Amino acid sequence: MPSYRADLLSDTLTAPTQGMRAAMAGAEVGDDVFGEDPTVRALEERVATLLGHEAGLFTPTGSMANQLGVRVHCQPGEELLSDSLAHVVRAELGAAAVLSGVTSRTWSAPRGLLDPVAPLSMVVTGVGPYQVCTSLVCVENTHNFGGGTVQPLSALRAVRAATEREGVAMHLDGARLWNAHVASGVPLADYGDCADTVSVCLSKGLGAPVGSVLVGSADAVAEARVWRKRLGGGMRQVGILAAAGLWALDHHIERLADDHDRARRAAQACAEAAPGCVDPATVETNIVVLDAAAVGWEAPAFVAALAEAGVRGYAVSPTAVRLVWHLDVDEAATSYAVDVLTATLAAGTRRR
């Protein structure tokens, strides 16, 4: 496997720190399928409390947490609404349709930014056997493919209030909600109050090797636990992994600000080297999306050129490249990445 001096492919690449490994090795464990793993229970209770919900459920992946959220709110033949770039419809391989018989409709959201008018204008309820009824609105915060966009609390609250009146549930895909919390200063419980269920990842910015948590009401989580087992997600002495999540909560939340600062520094340098490739004002967290086409590159070719110079990125479309800062990209790696990025962008500008 090639090594990179700055690996910006994803914040899922982080390796467990030595302190995290020690916590994992010393974790008290039990059989979680029987509800007997004390470390898992401690993690579930802690995350639920942080987000202001009654209960939590540890899952191996964020996609499973999201799909369990979909399943407890939607019956087969009903629909969920999300924006067209949302992870739940773009990057979970049609799971809502395949696993739960749920259809999806989407709205357009530049940078993934939530405008309450868009989803609320699409909600359909009380139409009996004549049209598909909306059961769920899904919102992502921060927004991955939107470039780490932080959703305004006011927008989330507006959607929440309107969906409650219509009897429609709301699920918050908070895979990077920790980043939103650190960037905005909004308390986690205030975000949690905006949805019936919330999923959060431990294996992205927080640096745990695996795992997510779904929180919601006690009844919703009890139903999700049944579906987790049906989907093959029942785990045994998984406290070894839950211990990594607890360590991450203790040590890796506030340091996310470092990732945000480094991403903004890189975005500013790229914008100065190649005007039009990125607006630094839109870089709120740890993700930078560059418009490679604006400076004469196709995204795959730009990614290949970066890789040759020791920097890894991800082509999220034929024209756009995503770069993600995380625990394992320090100041030195960031400085190196900035040098490579600006030189490669400038080369594209000269090719036009």
pLDDT value for 3: 84
Asked whether 69 and 199 are in contact (CB, 8 A), the reply is: yes
- Give phi and psi for 28, each to the nearest 5: -80, 135
pLDDT value for 320: 96
User: Domains in the chain, ordered, with CATH?
Assistant: 6-12+255-351 (3.90.1150.10), 31-251 (3.40.640.10)
CA distance 168 to 137: 7
pLDDT tens, the chain, 352 aa long: 678 999 999 999 999 999 999 999 999 999 999 999 999 999 999 999 999 999 999 999 999 999 999 999 999 999 999 999 999 999 999 999 999 999 999 999 999 999 999 999 999 998 888 899 999 999 999 999 999 999 999 999 999 999 999 999 999 999 999 999 999 999 999 999 999 999 999 999 999 999 999 999 999 999 999 999 999 999 999 999 999 999 999 999 999 999 999 999 999 999 999 999 999 999 999 999 999 999 999 999 999 999 999 999 999 999 999 999 999 999 999 999 999 999 999 987 655 5
Which residue is listed with tokens 């000269």? 350
CA distance 202 to 93: 21
- Triad 64, 170, 285: Cα angle to 5°: 70
pLDDT value for 100: 96
CA distance 115 to 117: 5
- Give phi and psi for 59, each to the nearest 5: -130, 155
Cβ atoms within 10 Å, residue 150: 23
H helical segments located in the chain: 18-25, 38-50, 62-73, 87-90, 95-100, 117-120, 153-166, 177-184, 188-192, 218-230, 239-251, 256-273, 299-308, 331-351
Cβ atoms within 10 Å, residue 352: 8
Residues with Cβ within 8 Å of 34's Cβ and at least 6 positions away in sequence, in order, are none
Asked whether 6 and 342 are in contact (CB, 8 A), the reply is: no
Kindly report the length of the chain: 352
pLDDT value for 130: 84
pLDDT value for 349: 60
- Give phi and psi for 289, each to the nearest 5: -110, 120
pLDDT value for 98: 96
Asked whether 176 and 204 are in contact (CB, 8 A), the reply is: yes
pLDDT value for 1: 60
